[in-house]
Structure 1
Amino acid sequence: MNAHSRQRLVDLQPAQQAGILCNDPQFQQYAAIRCGFPKQQFNASAAAQYLRECCQIDSRTLLNTCPAAYSKLAALRTDFDAWAGKIATPR
């Protein structure tokens, strides 16, 4: 691999992870469902608002410096990954 190879999501700063997540159409659908809109799809902006509310932050950049917010992001990612079938559902 060279220096320009794609990085793994977990190797990126939390704010970058959140930005990528909010641009994922599957996460946008997940966010819409969690907000009570099961037949709709959010756009990236609405998904970002959902993520900020879940993490109780005003800006995704706070994910890089606030351990409590990062912990909420990690839990949200785990729930999303389970919903998407990427991992087994946590018990």
Structure 2
Amino acid sequence: MTARDTAQMAGILCNDPGFHAFVAERTGQPCQDADTAARFLRAECGVRSRRELNTDPAAREAFDRLRTEVDAFTGKIPKPR
């Protein structure tokens, strides 16, 4: 994934019901829409806009870690031991 694709991937992730379930599990609050998911993602990555994921290396790294956690949660990859 190139740097400029990160914000687009974040937008796609925020519309994913599996991510909504992850957010609900993590926060203990319902997450049934992309806006709620986007607020969570921005907070987790330390950005005010998902576009910042394209230019801020630390935010992009945080997004990559978050995606790995989501992939493990949804069963796309094995959970770490």
* TM-score normalised to structure 2 length: 0.90
Q: How many residues matched?
A: 80
Aligned AA for 2:57? P
Partner of 1:20, secondary structure, is helix
Shift of 1:41: 3.5
Distance 1:30 1:70 in 2: 19
Report if the CA contact (8 A) 1:14-1:63 is conserved: yes
Structure 1's unaligned 5+ residue stretches are 1-9
Runs of 4+ in 1 over 2 A off after TM superposition: none
Report if the CA contact (8 A) 1:32-1:41 is conserved: yes
Q: Are 1:31 and 2:19 matched, yes or no?
A: no
Q: Are 1:16 and 2:8 matched, yes or no?
A: yes
Give % identity.
Answer: 47
- Cα-to-partner distance string for 1:19-54 (whole Å, 9 max, x where unaligned): 0000001111111111113xx343100000000000
Q: Are 1:53 and 2:43 matched, yes or no?
A: yes
Structure 2's unaligned 5+ residue stretches are none
Higher helix share: 2
User: Considering only CA atoms, is the larger Rg found in Structure 1 or Structure 2?
Assistant: 1
Distance 1:55 1:65 in 2: 12
Q: Given the alignment, which residue of 48, 51, 54 partners 1:64?
A: 54
* TM-score normalised to structure 1 length: 0.81
Distance 1:13 1:71 in 2: 13
